Amino acid sequence: EAGVTQFPSHSVIEKGQTVTLRCDPISGHDNLYWYRRVMGKEIKFLLHFVKESKQDESGMPNNRFLAERTGGTYSTLKVQPAELEDSGVYFCASSPGAWAEQFFGPGTRLTVL
């Protein structure tokens, strides 16, 4: 069974540009989460989807971040326009149920210059 996959693995963009990160959860997992880790700090929650609905987006830092999960399968996280402080590693995780273990993807390392 394939794990959580994320694309790209690494993205380098300039301040002001737009970047879209993609996450493919484990097949059949209704719950999908986005987290990020900036500069060696703790991993922080961004948002939680149940199927295509946003269950909790309390961790989204500002309106430059837009997450979607059309059809309840893969999810995208768009940053527009990107700022220097957005640099970090963005992790996606999925779980079959709300209280089940979360399986993490390898992350996308975003560098904003």
Partner 1 sequence: DQQVKQNSPSLSVQEGRISILNCDYTNSMFDYFLWYKKYPAEGPTFLISISSIKDKNEDGRFTVFLNKSAKHLSLHIVPSQPGDSAVYFCAASANNAGNMLTFGGGTRLMVKP
Quick one: which of 42, 62, 63, 71 contacts partner 1 (CB under 8 A)? Answer: 42
Residue 8 in the binding site for partner 1 (CB under 8 A):
no
CA distances from residue 28 to 3, 24, 49, 56 in whole angstroms, order as listed:
11, 11, 13, 20
CB atoms within 10 A of CB 34: 25
Does residue 1 interact with partner 1 by CB under 8 A? Answer: no
Q: Looking at 5-74, which runs of residues are DSSP E strands?
A: 5-7, 10-13, 19-24, 31-37, 43-50, 53-56, 65-68
Site string for partner 1, 64-103 (x = CB under 8 A): ---------------------------x-x-x--xxxxxx
Answer for which of 43, 60, 78, 96 binds partner 1 (CB under 8 A) is 43
**Contact set with partner 1 (CB under 8 A):** 4, 31, 33, 35, 40-45, 48, 55-56, 58-59, 91, 93, 95, 98-107
